[in-house]
Amino acid sequence: MKILICLSNVPDTTTKVKFTGDNTAFDKAGVQWIINPWDELALTRALEMKEASAGAITCITVATVGGADVEPTMRKGLAIGADEAIRVDADPKDAFYVAAQLAAVANGYDIVMAGIEASDYNGSAVGGMLAEFLNIASVSSVSKMEIEGGAVTVTREIDGGSETVAVQTPFVAIVQKGITKEPRIPAMRGIMMARKKPLNVVPAVDAEMLTEYANYELPAPKAACKMVDAENVKELVDLLKNEAKVL
């Protein structure tokens, strides 16, 4: 069984977000890049399953759409334990376009995993789009995955609960929090081995971009917090009821 993990290269979560070019582009200056947290959880789960599979799962591949600047992040994926990496040399500007690029390299995998969204553009789209391009099943909001004798069972979150779902391979698992407890941290040995693992670069395929980010806005600065005295809690309730009108 082969598993493909789609990795997104995103800014570290504590990054102060700024824009350039009259607010038309994200300012990359000084940004620390990381593996998208949900993709990292997906990769960790895949490695856990591989280790428990007694050889049934033979290979974990990570794939990313991006320029050479995403390679350090891909090497982190290899350091965590992926066996090989594929970079599609293209600018990941639109989800449909990115999914089309991944589809060109995603054939032949039994399970494809992707995080439910990326922490930069919050598109929540690539995983589902990829499944449709590949014409295979997808399950979203996956918070657990188990493989037993080649049969895959996942837990997916629904409003007010969860469902246990049996799914036929090949399929795309779009995963969220819960899929594993914590992301795996690469050990020194992993980091050294990562340099020797294959990172293949393939050219982009012809595909359209259906959306475009015209510009960005920073949120309007919030009015100062109205402080209420701890001795006068009643005043807070009055304000919420009569001023904010939310009680």
Partner 1 sequence: MSILVYTENWEGKFKKLSFELVSYANEMAKQLGTEVTAVSIGNVDDTELKSLGLYGASKVINVNDAQLEKLSNAPYARVIADAATKENAQVIVFAHNNAGKAIAPRVSVKLKAGLVSGASEAPSCYDPFTVKKKAFTGKAFANIVVKSAVKIVTLSQNSFGLVEDAKDAFIEAYAPTLDAAEFKTEVKDTNKITGKVLLNDAEIVVSAGRGLKGPENWGPIEEMAELLGAATACSRPVSDEEWRPHSEHVGQTGKIIAPNLYFAFGISGAIQHLGGVSSSKVIVAVNTDKDAPIFEAADYGIIGDAQKILPQLVEAIKSAKAE
Q: Which of residues 80-109 bind partner 1 (CB under 8 A)?
A: 94-96, 99
**Nearer Cβ to partner 1, position 53 or 162?**
162
Could you tell me the smallest distance in angstroms from the CB atom of residue 244 to partner 1?
5
Residues in the chain: 247
Whole-number CA gyration radius for the chain: 21
Structure tokens at 34: 């990381």
Could you tell me the smallest distance in angstroms from the CB atom of residue 93 to partner 1?
11
Site residues (CB under 8 A) for partner 1, limited to 1-30: 11, 13-15, 17, 19, 26
Q: Give the separation between CA 65 and CA 207, rounded to whole angstroms.
A: 13
**Do 84 and 61 meet the contact criterion of CB atoms below 8 Å apart?**
yes
| CA nearest to 113, candidates 139, 81, 88 | 139
Binding marks (x or -) toward partner 1, 202..241, rule CB under 8 A? ------xxxxxxxxxxxx--xx-xxxxxx--xx-xxxxxx
| Residue 32 binding partner 1, by CB under 8 A | no
Q: Give the separation between CA 247 and CA 242, rounded to whole angstroms.
A: 8
| CA nearest to 161, candidates 141, 180, 147 | 141
**Nearer Cβ to partner 1, position 153 or 200?**
153
Could you tell me the smallest distance in angstroms from the CB atom of residue 201 to partner 1?
25
Q: Give the separation between CA 92 and CA 71, rounded to whole angstroms.
A: 14
| Residue 62 binding partner 1, by CB under 8 A | no
Could you tell me the smallest distance in angstroms from the CB atom of residue 197 to partner 1?
28
Q: Give the separation between CA 135 and CA 172, rounded to whole angstroms.
A: 10
Site residues (CB under 8 A) for partner 1, limited to 131-190: 131-133, 136-141, 153, 156-168, 171, 174, 177-178
| Residue 121 binding partner 1, by CB under 8 A | yes
**Nearer Cβ to partner 1, position 26 or 33?**
26
Could you tell me the smallest distance in angstroms from the CB atom of residue 177 to partner 1?
5
Find the distance separating the first CA and the last CA of the chain, reported in whole Å.
55
